[in-house]
Amino acid sequence: MPRRLLCVLAVLFVAWPATAAEFVITEEAATRALVDRIFTRDGKYDLSEYSRCRFAYLMTPTVRFEGDNVLIRAYFSGQAGADVGGDCVGPKDAFWVAVRGTPTVEGTHISLSNLEIIESPGSLYRVVLENTLSRVVGPALRYDVEKTLREALKKPNGPYQVRIENLTIGTLVARDNILSANLDFRLIAELAK
């Protein structure tokens, strides 16, 4: 190989930014994680204590990734009623609510920040919904990337035990139905003990 070509290749190799891996979460996987973590009463998340005539809950959540945001949409159903002669008497309400958040890196975690309601019919339930967002929905979508990688590498692979060090998560991109992040880390393979 000509000496000049070797020099050019060496410069490109040294100067080219390297990413060890790309971490990708699909919309379906994020929706499933949300359902598994908080929509645990027959696919519903109770915003208040449930009774036959008095309830408020969210159901049928979906998670979408677009425009570098995470969009969460769920159906709200509520009634502030009382049992009168075996019938529920009182106002009912049902509507779709949507929330937007910014995917954020916190150390080795991916989470949501700046959660805000972007679709709701009015202010009557806004306080309850905003409280739920900050207290429940945001933490439910917090994802520990390092823990996931450590768990995946825990079993010995042949005669080797592989471990991860120095994990850093690069820029997050939320679009085209996926949330992706560039990861940089060091894998160390040792003889299994």
Residues making up the chain, counted from first to last: 193
Residue 120: CB atoms within 10 Å:
17
Strand partners, 55: 79
The predicted-structure confidence for 44-55, as pLDDT tens digits, reads as follows: 999 888 899 999
* Structure tokens given for 119: 């679709």
- 125 vs 191 pLDDT, higher one: 191
State percent of the chain over pLDDT 70: 89
Burial of 170 (0-12, 13-18, 19+ CB in 10 A): middle
Q: Write the single-letter amino acid at 108.
A: T
Distance, in Å, from the CA atom of 132 to the CA atom of 23, rounded to the nearest integer, reads 28
Per the CB < 8 A criterion, the answer to whether 39 and 149 are in contact is no
Which amino acid is residue 93, in one-letter code?
D
Span 90-122, pLDDT tens digits = 989 899 999 999 999 999 999 999 988 898 877
Per-residue confidence (pLDDT) for residue 187, from 0 to 100: 85
In this model, does residue 16 exceed pLDDT 70?
Answer: no
Q: What is the mean pLDDT of residues 27-41?
A: 93
Which pLDDT score is estimated for 11?
39
Q: How far apart are CA 178 and CA 65, in angstroms?
A: 6
pTM, two decimals, is: 0.78
Residue 139's beta-bridge partner residues? none
List beta partners, residue 69: 66
Q: State residue 20's pLDDT score.
A: 65
**Residue 6 pLDDT > 60:** no
**What would the pLDDT profile of 65-98 be if each residue is shown by its tens digit?**
999 999 999 999 988 889 899 999 998 989 999 9
